[in-house]
Amino acid sequence: IVDETFLNEITGGDTDFLQEMFSAFEEELPTYRRSLYDTLAAHDRENFNRVAHKFCSSLNALAMIDTAKKMRQMEKDATLSI
């Protein structure tokens, strides 16, 4: 879920810029998803955390605050079985 108010604040309501941001995210999403699944399958906690951290930055940039919080929790959860 996107926080539209926050997103409008950070983009100044520039719809062209917003479209560019979402297009870049759509291009990056399959790579993030594949990397997260690959690190889980390989039981590679260090690289999972690295990818999750980068993904959080992209999520925050698009005001997907709740999703970013959940990803950050997974990144910090030492008990998460990988």
CA distance 35 to 40: 9
Report the 3 state secondary structure along 29-77.
HHHHHHHHHHHHHCCCHHHHHHHHHHHHHHHHHCCCHHHHHHHHHHHHC
Token look-up 């108010």 returns 5
Q: What is the pLDDT of residue 3?
A: 87
pTM: 0.78
DSSP 10: H
With a CB cutoff of 8 Å and minimum separation 6, the contacts of 66 are: 1
Each residue's pLDDT tens digit in the chain (82 positions)? 888 888 888 889 899 998 999 999 999 999 999 999 999 899 999 999 999 999 999 999 899 989 999 999 988 886 766 6
